[in-house]
Amino acid sequence: MTQAHPVAPHSGAPMPFGRLITAMVTPFAADGSLDLDGVARLATHLVDEQRNDALVISGTTGESPTTTDAEKEQLLRTVVEAVGDRAKIIAGVGTNDTRHTIELAATAEKAGAHGLLVVTPYYNKPPQAGLVRHFTAVADATALPVMLYDIPHRSGVPIATETLVRLAEHERIVAVKDAKVDLIATSWVTSRTDLAIYCGDDATTLPALAVGAVGMVGTSTHFTGPGTKRMIEAYEAGDIATALALHRQLLPLYTGIFRTQGVILVKAGLTALGLPAGPVRSPLVPATEDEIAQLRLDFAAAGLDLPG
């Protein structure tokens, strides 16, 4: 199929959402309610200071399992108003119920989203035929481009290569957030489709670029955005030595942010930097003092500073 999207100069692959995307955390007030002013300020920081081309709102990193449908709409409208004129805003709408996912997709479209992130239905473990039906139904429900989210270690079910090849035939299914960490499978998808692959595992972004990915959807990129953007741009320009040096520099934080659940440490880091974050919602718990101390070491190892 033909897609009218910008093209990465080195790989020749389409880039419907740019190269660098952060799955944004959701700032909460001290009482656990939405901090919409903080949401707007954090989105602005991620776009203007961290060099993100797009943001995912209400992904798992945005604590979507514990926000209501109404809160998701408020979050999306706030971010679209704050940065939607200079970044793509992708709404996380995936659930394990096709009807509910379609409802969230329709709301996201009305709220001004530029695209949808749709995760593999989790826990109920549908067969591949069920995945095709689910993703196709969601893609049929709006006019927005869709990024599939393949993360079998959370969803319980991988999206098989043959399934991705079939889904790529849909004109609005244009991208995959690939957190499978299977470079052979990724290679087959990039060789057989024109789906834009965005690495969903921070530390394997550079090797994913080598097999045809166009960028990443990150978590550590709340802090590593500029360096990660330079890494991706260096690779695309053919400057592999610079890309590798940046990968090695940032690796301690690419991995360190996941020493516990990623949202926990992102919010701890943002708080230390004086940026909007607030508490996490249960069942997540705040970072411990030892975890924060280790996070400072990981920042330092990556050449970044986290105030004490």
Which residues are identified as catalytic? 149, 177
Neighbours of 74 (CB within 10 A): 16
Q: How far apart are CA 225 and CA 217, in angstroms?
A: 11
Residues 186 and 178: beta-carbon distance below 8 Å: yes
List Cβ neighbours of 176 (8 Å cut-off, separation of 6 or more). 147, 148, 149, 150, 159, 164, 189, 195, 196, 197, 198
DSSP 74-100: HHHHHHHHHHTTTSEEEEE---S-HHH
Burial letters for 182-204: b for 16+ Cβ neighbours within 10 Å, e otherwise?
A: bbebbbbbbeebebbbbbbbbbb
Q: How far apart are CA 13 and CA 9, in angstroms?
A: 8
Tell me which H or E stretch contains 119: strand 115-119
Report the DSSP beta bridge partners of residue 34.
28
Q: How far apart are CA 287 and CA 270, in angstroms?
A: 12
Q: How many residues does the chain have?
A: 308
Which two three-digit tokens encode residue 150?
A: 């393949």
